[in-house]
Amino acid sequence: MIRETWLNAATLTLLVAVPAWALVVDEPFTITLATRAVIFAIAAVGLNIALGLGGLVSLGHAAFFGIGGYAMGILAHHAQTYVPLEIGPLTLAGTKSMPVIWLTAMVTSGLAALLIGMLSLRTAGVYFIMITLAFGQMFYFFAISWPAYGGEDGLSIYVRNGFPGLNTLVPIQFYGLCLGVLLLVLGGMFLLARSPFGLALNAARQAPGRVETVGLNGQRVKLVAFVISGVITGLAGALFADLNRFVAPTMFSWQMSGELIIFIILGGTARLFGPVIGACVFVLLEHLLGGLSEFWLVYLGALLLIVVLFARGGIVGLLSGRRAVHD
């Protein structure tokens, strides 16, 4: 426990110190890299609510990541072209305001998660994996074949969206904003895991029969967890699109879903900081190995095999020398 706390503190320190150092020595690319890691971490913490706490192996979370991305892309696109967005009888103006975009991203991905969750949770185990994967793919093909927002080519945004009181065009300010969101999400996760809801969710994963026997609806608890999880991953999607000032169907791809799971496993399931450490290590590997070889994914694959076959508990488990125990 104590070593894990130290590990978490060290991670936080690095998340502050590395970009600060990059600012001093004027390395904006490092800040961008760190922002990427932090946004991936938010998405993975979101997924971890479903996967780590609820035991729901969703291979379709790219759907929410992509919906968040397109929420940003579509709203900003309408704002920069001054064409209002018409949905049936409703006419909405586009926006370049992050809070509005975030809210839209969270609401739409939450609705999608509700729908996908209601269908997928009718099943369990391997069916659940295949179905979430399939629904993720559905959004991918929809994005490709829907021509209004760029189809396969995606949408570019000229200028990063704004946040009140900040200049988001300055990399370190945008980084700080993303880090703030990550800390909020981590705080929420910390509370949620210990709350009555988290207790019920945890128990629904470990002993589904028990939860029903004490009179609780385990499936509904899992559905709510799936929705919360989708909402957070959707928010991360909006941030990711803003980081790149670009959104494309690849955000919906099944590889994206797979990578989100990899972040969690690299770091360690159901550990508060597992997904954060996993996402940072992934971005670092991507950068370092990607610089060494065009075929760096081979090494990632090999590393992943080793982690799965030999190092259950991920990096946090390895370093803290303790098997994952929920508390």
* Positions in 270-309 near other proteins (CB under 8 A): 295-298, 300-302, 304-305, 307-309
- Residue (35 or 253) nearer to other proteins, CB: 253
Cβ closest to other proteins, residue 107 vs residue 199: 199
Positive or negative torsion for Cα 264, 245, 180, 189: negative
Q: How far is the CB of 217 from other proteins (least distance, A)?
A: 6
39-78: contacts with other proteins (CB under 8 A): 51, 57, 59
Of 267, 206, 306, the closest CA to residue 7 belongs to 267
Judged by CB under 8 A, the stretch of 2-10, 78-86, 261-269, 277-285 that binds other proteins is 261-269
Contact status: 87 vs other proteins (CB under 8 A): no
Residue 248 interacts with other proteins (CB under 8 A)? Answer: no
Pick out residues in 307-326 that bind other proteins (CB under 8 A).
Answer: 307-309, 324-326
Closest approach of Cβ 110 to other proteins, in Å? 15
Interaction with other proteins in 132-171: which residues (CB under 8 A)? 133-135, 137-138, 141-142, 144-148
Indicate which single residue of 130, 172, 311, 319 sits in contact with other proteins (rule: CB under 8 A): 130
DSSP SS3 for 248: coil
User: What's the CA gap between 174 and 247, in Å, rounded?
Assistant: 18
By CB under 8 A, is residue 2 in contact with other proteins?
Answer: no
Looking at residue 18, its amino acid is V
**Is 232 within 8 Å of 185 (Cβ atoms)?**
yes
Does 209 help bind other proteins (rule: CB under 8 A)? yes
| Binding residues for other proteins, total number by CB under 8 A | 71
Query: Which residues are CB-neighbours of 62 under 8 A, at least 6 positions away?
Result: 136, 139, 140, 251, 252, 253, 254, 255, 256, 257, 260
DSSP 159-227: SPPBBTTB-TTSHHHHHHHHHHHHHHHHHHHHHHHHSHHHHHHHHHHH-HHHHHHTT--HHHHHHHHHH
Provide, rounded to whole angstroms, the least separation between the CB of residue 262 and other proteins: 7
In the complex with other proteins, the residue whose CB is nearer, 29 or 146, is 146
> Considering beta carbons, is residue 21 or 127 the nearer one to other proteins?
127
Sign, CA dihedral 55-59-187-71, equals: negative
The 10 Å CB-count burial string (b at 16+, else e) for 235-254 is bbbbbbbbbbbbbbbbbbbb
Residue from 192, 285, 289, 319 in contact with other proteins (CB under 8 A) = 192
